[in-house]
Structure 1
Amino acid sequence: MKIYQIDAFSKTVFSGNPAAVCPLEEWLSDTIMQKIAAENNLAETAFYVKNGDNYEIRWFTPKLEVDLCGHATLAAAFVLFHFENYNTNRITFFSPRSGELTVTKEADLLSLNFPVDVLEPIPLTPQMTDGLNVKPIQAFKGKTDYMLLFNTEDEILNLNPDFEKLSKLQARGIIVTAKGNNSDFVSRFFAPQSGINEDPVTGSAHTTLIPYWANELNKTKLSAIQLSERRGYLDCELLENRVRISGYAKCYLIGTIFTQ
């Protein structure tokens, strides 16, 4: 089967977040898809199958299937637009776990339309703070992740997580965030319990971040930087109970998988 590797949320290769994309004619077994994701050893591998005019999509980390992945959805759309003969400027994906997800194309800019996360404040616990060298000022819980708020961008940059301790938290991952110096907000994303210590750019985390910062900053259009080593740049917008997450992508690799 064909495989693509796409650097998402970046205008150049070797930055943004790499995702593997596997177009399928029909679904493989969960075991084979998980083995492919583990073999790829990227944050996410996306698989999609055409269903009428739309596409069913699923995402796997090296360890497990996840409910939602932004950068791999952006990568899958990039593959369809550029390599798989998709001829209109809007793709509708359907996820069994997250419902309808759309991606639109304007020149080279791709925009995800995702549902907002439901966020609630929770008490800070020693389990959250022991794995970090800087103490957050507030904690929140979304559908699948914790979000920890810090005072400054420098604190986010200087975090040195203890991934073994963070892996004990019962969540997909931990979002850390603060107001940005050169953007509206910044973030990082740690997910040792999902098979990757630090994700370079996490589109799905912005379903949590966008509604929070839109409320805090009293604006619906925001700029964001994910402060991983590879960096990710996102244009964001709050659309009532949905969010728009926009960015660019570049193809790094096209290959063939042999499963036997």
Structure 2
Amino acid sequence: MELEIYQVDSFTEQVFHGNPACVVPLKNWLPDETLLKIARENAVAETAFFIHKGDIIHLRWFTPEIEMDLCGHATLATAHCLVAHLSYQKKRIIFETQVGPLKVNVEDGVYYMDFPSRMPEPTALPDIIERSLNIKPKEVLKSRDYVLLYESEQDIKNIRIDRSIFDLINLDPGGVVVTAAGTESDFVSRFFTPQSSILEDPVTGSAHCSLIPFWAKRLTKDKLFALQLSERGGKLYCENKPDRVIIAGKARTYSVGRFWI
């Protein structure tokens, strides 16, 4: 079987920045085991698989280890693939996913993703997470992911993870996001996933489902600009709404090809 594959850098205007995702169009679903093997072979944080039939686009996301419940950068990459390479003409794309319909509006090369809001709630920091960090947070919250609040952007840059401890944590399918107010943005973050082949995710759209409502309330503003401070870095244009968040960014295609299974 011959399949097409697109690799896209999301939340950036430049290749080699942002978060790389692979996108694979399908005519019919392959067995989950095969989808996982393809994601593992691609060796990027996420591979998106979609089936486009009529007006419905079914979308799923796989890491090299598991199927995810939600992924921002691979959704953005899929929207970019449809518009830039597959002649999709509509300005609004609606994906059917396991978390319900996800809408993406396309305007002047910017992809505006309408995602669920996940306000994190205060919680205790598990000892195993605390022991894996070189800097202790000043506040701890949780929704799908643990959200650790720090004093400064410099703290976020200085965070180090002891992976020998961190990989003992089981947060399937979540992770740990560290965040602080930004110096050149409203807020900054980094995201870490235990037991993952890729410890630090370059840019994590789904984590902003929690970061946006948190910072919107903390800063008393609904439109925010965010930076993710991974080595590759990423820019996110955010808007808080009553029960939803808008996560927007740009994308660049890195490669287009075919593979055989």
Above 0.5 in TM-score?
A: yes
Deviation, structure 1 residue 164: 2.8
> Is 1:146 matched up with 2:146?
yes
Deviations along 1:95-121, one digit per CA (max 9) or x if unpaired, are 12x111011111111111001114211
What CA distance in whole angstroms lies between the structure 2 residues aligned with 1:193 and 1:147? 18
What CA distance in whole angstroms lies between the structure 1 residues aligned with 2:197 and 2:245? 26
Deviation, structure 1 residue 192: 2.8
- The answer for the alignment partner of 1:177 in structure 2 is 179
* Amino acid paired to 1:109: V
Which residues of structure 1 form unaligned runs of 5+? none
Maintained 8 Å contact 2:119/2:213: no
What CA distance in whole angstroms lies between the structure 2 residues aligned with 1:210 and 1:101? 17
Maintained 8 Å contact 1:192/1:198: no
What CA distance in whole angstroms lies between the structure 2 residues aligned with 1:234 and 1:87? 24
Maintained 8 Å contact 1:221/1:238: yes
Maintained 8 Å contact 2:169/2:194: no
What CA distance in whole angstroms lies between the structure 2 residues aligned with 1:222 and 1:166? 31
Maintained 8 Å contact 1:173/1:193: no
> Is 1:115 matched up with 2:141?
no
Which residues of structure 2 form unaligned runs of 5+? none
What CA distance in whole angstroms lies between the structure 2 residues aligned with 1:242 and 1:195? 30
Maintained 8 Å contact 2:22/2:47: yes
What CA distance in whole angstroms lies between the structure 1 residues aligned with 2:219 and 2:33? 44
Q: Superposed, which structure 2 residues align to 1:90-239 within 5 Å?
A: 90-96=92-98, 98-143=99-144, 145-171=145-171, 172-239=174-241
Q: Runs in 1 of length 4+ with deviation above 3 angstroms?
A: none
TM-score, normalised relative to structure 2:
0.96
Deviation, structure 1 residue 127: 1.3
What CA distance in whole angstroms lies between the structure 1 residues aligned with 2:146 and 2:60? 22
Larger mean Cα displacement after TM superposition, 189-198 or 34-43: 189-198
CA RMSD of aligned residues (A): 1.0
What CA distance in whole angstroms lies between the structure 2 residues aligned with 1:12 and 1:215? 32
Larger mean Cα displacement after TM superposition, 198-207 or 166-175: 166-175
Deviation, structure 1 residue 125: 2.9
Larger mean Cα displacement after TM superposition, 221-230 or 125-134: 125-134
What CA distance in whole angstroms lies between the structure 1 residues aligned with 2:167 and 2:241? 33
What CA distance in whole angstroms lies between the structure 1 residues aligned with 2:124 and 2:51? 42
* Amino acid paired to 1:114: F
Deviations along 1:20-40, one digit per CA (max 9) or x if unpaired, are 000111111101100000000
TM-score, normalised relative to structure 1:
0.97
Deviations along 1:28-86, one digit per CA (max 9) or x if unpaired, are 11011000000001000000011430211000001110100000000000000011111
Maintained 8 Å contact 1:164/1:192: no
What CA distance in whole angstroms lies between the structure 2 residues aligned with 1:18 and 1:142? 25
Matched pairs, number: 257
Deviations along 1:179-206, one digit per CA (max 9) or x if unpaired, are 1011000000001324320000000000
- The answer for the alignment partner of 2:22 in structure 1 is 20
- The answer for the alignment partner of 2:70 in structure 1 is 68
Q: Residue 165 of structure 1: SS of its match in structure 2?
A: helix
Maintained 8 Å contact 1:234/1:247: yes
- The answer for the alignment partner of 2:38 in structure 1 is 36
Aligned identity (percent) is: 48
- The answer for the alignment partner of 1:8 in structure 2 is 10
What CA distance in whole angstroms lies between the structure 2 residues aligned with 1:79 and 1:41? 19
